[in-house]
Chains A and B, each alone.
Chain A
Amino acid sequence: MKQSYTRVFIIPILLPLLLLIQGCKQNLVPEIHPSKGTIDLLRYISIGDSYSAGVSNTDFSTPSLKGLYEEAQAFSFPQLLAEQFQIIEPIYFEQPILEGNGSGYLELVSYAKPKCELAIPTPKIEKQIPRPGWYYPSSPSRSINNYGTPNLRSTDLFNDSLYFQNPFFSRLSPDLQSSYGDLLSALNPTFFTFWLGLEDVLPYALSGGTQDELKPVSASSFGNEIHHLLISLLLKSPNTQGVIANIPDITDFPYFATVGSEYISPDECQQSSRSIYIETSSGTTRKASNLDLILLPAAEMIGKDYMGLTPEKPIPNHLVLDAFEAAGIRNTISLYNTQLDSLIETINQQMGNSRFVIADMYGLFKKLRGGYTIAGLEVSSEYLTGGVFSLDGVYLTPRGNAMVANEFIHAINRNRDFSAIIPTINITDYPGVVFP
């Protein structure tokens, strides 16, 4: 009897074995080891326009309501990038925050479901008025890292009187004479992101191609300005490295791509789709083809009092980019991007390594036009529901910014000379258009 009890000792042998297997519950080990490689993130500077600044929910009908405000700036892509860099290294990153309502912005207050799925949604949007005195300089004692400046064009880079022309720039500038380029190169960045060119092409497109003084400069002068900036950065800080983003095809943005060439009445649905009449750049009136782009503000006009539905009441020229104008804009963007490519290639060849790399925003936004899935989340450039573009149909939501930041990260990680591994951002953590 006593002997058979000894067999019970199998228990003390078995139990530790079970505990051992439990012990395997150590954390899973990531496949990647985040590393900054050869890049020095200590002084990361963001160079660029409204997109770098974090502009969102702009009201184009009120020039001052640029949509730069605290809540949006918190999700600017340079800020999101810096947060990823901070996983690797505790770097300093400061933005010139416009507190509260900042320069004013748009907010969605209600949303009426269109009766037909194909009809354009009609959100009710309200203006949030600017915070008084928003344009006063940001506290000059603190050094800042995000020099994204709303409305900045390539021709502004070495414009000595920009201080008096752009209140967003004068907030950042320590004196009245410095140009943007001089200011930037004096900062001695160790690493920078650069995204410029959208504000070169947008204003003209937003005017429906009606304001010739807003026409984008030639590709060669665009290239020269940027070359000038990059060279002056390198002269002051020979070891600086950077990522330069190219320019998306803005005609894919919801501001230009939401209203189709046929009108679907929100009450009558598919059967009643009718041609829309437009006023072209040459002053003639004709039916819109699918190559003509009718701008987003026209959406709420069409159909009211037969607006746009008869040759007598065409959609006015300033709300239309006809096929010819749209092709011109696409052509300019592609020439600008070619300039950027050859510029970067030349500099890299001169430096003997890939000092600068291109982040392919053109490719990213082309992909978004068709829409795709990330972690079960569908993202697209669709207005309101695509999650990428804010209420203005041109600037980005936090989710859109996170995707742009990831495109920069991909560009950094792909470059062998950087040999860096920056973890990508979890897109699903960032909201698209916020509904009340």
Chain B
Amino acid sequence: MLNGINSAENPDRMKKSHFLCFLLSMIYLHMSGGGFQLFYHGQRQTGMGNAGTGLALDGSSIFFNPGSLVFNRSNSVQLGTNAIFTNTSFLENPNSIYQANMDTLLFTPIHFYTVWQGKKKVQERKWSFGLGINNPFLGGSKWQDDWNGKFISQELAINTFFMQPTASYKLTQQIGLGVGFSLGFLSFLSRRAIEVDGQGGRVGSVRLSGTGNGLGLNAGLFIQANERLSLGLSYRTPIFVNLKKGSVRFDVPESLRDVFPDTQFNTDITLPGTLNIGIGYRPDEKWTLAFDINFTGWQTYDSLIFDFAIPIKQLQKHPEEKAYQKSASFRMGGEYEVSPKFKFRAGAYFDQSPVPDGFVSPELPDANRIGLSAGLGLNFAPNLEIDLSYLFEYTGERTSFLSQSQFGGTYRSGTNVYGLGIRYNF
């Protein structure tokens, strides 16, 4: 009955839905994460609002909390992916009626974890080892080439691949410690129009692309306080990535080839560190609850300065200042074991934007986000589990003016995330 809210013929329903939308947006706006950090690193967690630092669920401990790895029940191999669809709309202001929609973006981060801890039971085990591969930072935008903000951004894509060999040690029966070395790989692509006009209304553009590597640590502490309560604390260090000799390519009219030669750029990006605090609680055999708080040190992304091998005037004007700030996210979720073969999960979160007013850019429009999720766990065979998740993330309307570029408006985004994971225990 609530599904008819899109029907324009029913004004009453429209009003109700407006009111609900208004309520929802008021909730987001009054809470004060985000950025291009990604939280989809395990289907069970995604089903529970991406909470799980305080639990020892499976191989995803490698990412969420290496300290809990040694509390995993068995050796395992798992593979998962999420399909993230993001829609963003934009309304220019002031004194404009211009609207634009970003192309629907599809991101497909993957995660792979394998855990090896011998054949000993949990109680007798001291060590556990694992390897994780995932995409902890991922983001981007793609607007129509001729849109109004084309001189700021037409396209941006930041992707990362992290490989993390991890060891976890059980200090006592209650306390586990773990540490992993993160080997990070980052790729960057940005494209925007430049002030050069060609025949037939063609505007020139410049495309920057490059890659870089970085190293970091992921350390965690896990405490199984009693049968019901567990606590987790993990810290992932900031990772400094130096992009060297990235390529600069111009699309300009033929007569200007000499003016805009192919060249190279260097830049640095420091991926932020995160501090994660989690609580796990099992009120009974069937229920598992998780509460997480993540603090992300986004202040490391204060600027993005490109150093070009050949200085070209049109390249210098890109807004360099990013001014990201520390942000936090709050997550909660639960899993209910309906039967040994069937688990149901649900969760919700609030993720605070690291982007201050005056710096919201169409490159990576950002606002506080709220997410709701649901998931299913299916045990077809004793050692095989398939996990499904669905998550919807809503970004409240945000109006901001990017002063460096004299461009502003209202942005709003919605994201659908569909996840599939498979795990084999041995």
Contact = CB atoms under 8 A, between A and B. Distances in A.
A110 interface: yes
Interface in A1-41: 1, 4-5, 7-8, 10-11, 14-32, 34
Interface string B229-253: 0000000000000000000000011
A385 B314 CA distance: 10
Contacts of A111: 255-256, 259
A18 B151 contact: no
Contacts of B259: 111, 113
A426 B255 contact: no
A434 B5 contact: no
Contacts of A87: 97
Interface string A94-115: 0000000000000010111100
Given A424-B95, A426-B96, A375 B407 contact: yes
B197 A433 contact: yes
Given A14-B346, A24-B394, A31 B372 contact: no
A61 B9 CA distance: 65
**Interface size class for chain A?**
35 or more
A31 B414 contact: no
B225 interface: no
Nearest to A428: B148
Contact of A4 (B20, B150, B338): B338
Nearest to B90: A28
Given A372-B406, A375-B405, A375-B407, A30 B339 contact: no
B5 A20 contact: yes
A436 B255 contact: yes
A110 B256 CA distance: 9
Contact of B397 (A8, A28, A432): A28
B362 to A, nearest CB: 9
B197 A11 contact: no
Question: Counting chain A CB atoms within 10 Å of each CB, which of B87, B192, B197, B319 scores highest?
Answer: B197
A111 B258 CA distance: 9
Contacts of A413: 95
B270 to A, nearest CB: 25
A434 B198 contact: yes
Contacts of B171: none
Main secondary structure of the interface of B (DSSP, over half): mixed
A7 B344 contact: yes
A432 B201 CA distance: 10
Contact of B392 (A22, A28, A108, A373): A22
Contacts of B21: 21, 23-24, 26
Interface in A377-436: 377-378, 385, 387, 413, 421, 423-424, 426, 428-429, 431-436
Contact of B20 (A20, A32, A436): A20
Given A4-B338, A24-B21, A387-B195, A376 B149 contact: yes
B381 interface: no
A16 B2 contact: yes
A8 B198 contact: no
A31 B406 contact: no
A11 B343 CA distance: 12
Nearest to A385: B195
A230 to B, nearest CB: 28
Contact of B24 (A1, A4, A21, A27): A21
B372 A17 contact: yes
B286 to A, nearest CB: 8
Interface string A345-376: 00000000000000000000000000011111
Given A111-B255, A432-B195, A434-B197, A8 B344 contact: yes
A112 B196 CA distance: 15
B414 A428 contact: no
B188 to A, nearest CB: 19
Nearest to B392: A18
Given A4-B338, A21-B372, A376-B151, A436 B254 contact: yes
A423 to B, nearest CB: 5
Interface in B12-35: 17-18, 20-21, 24-25
Given A434-B199, A435-B255, A377 B97 contact: no
Contacts of B339: 1, 4
Given A21-B394, A375-B152, A426-B148, A27 B99 contact: yes
A376 B152 contact: yes
A107 B372 CA distance: 59
A117 B314 CA distance: 13
Nearest to A87: B97
A435 B406 contact: no
A23 B372 contact: no
Contacts of A24: 17, 21, 24-25, 394, 412, 414
13 contacts: A4-B338, A14-B346, A18-B392, A20-B2, A24-B394, A27-B99, A111-B259, A375-B405, A423-B98, A434-B199, A435-B196, A435-B197, A435-B198
Given A24-B17, A374-B406, A426-B96, 15 more contacts: A4-B339, A7-B338, A7-B344, A14-B374, A19-B2, A21-B24, A24-B24, A32-B93, A111-B259, A373-B405, A375-B407, A376-B319, A376-B406, A426-B92, A434-B199
Interface of A: 1, 4-5, 7-8, 10-11, 14-32, 34, 87, 108, 110-113, 117, 372-378, 385, 387, 413, 421, 423-424, 426, 428-429, 431-436
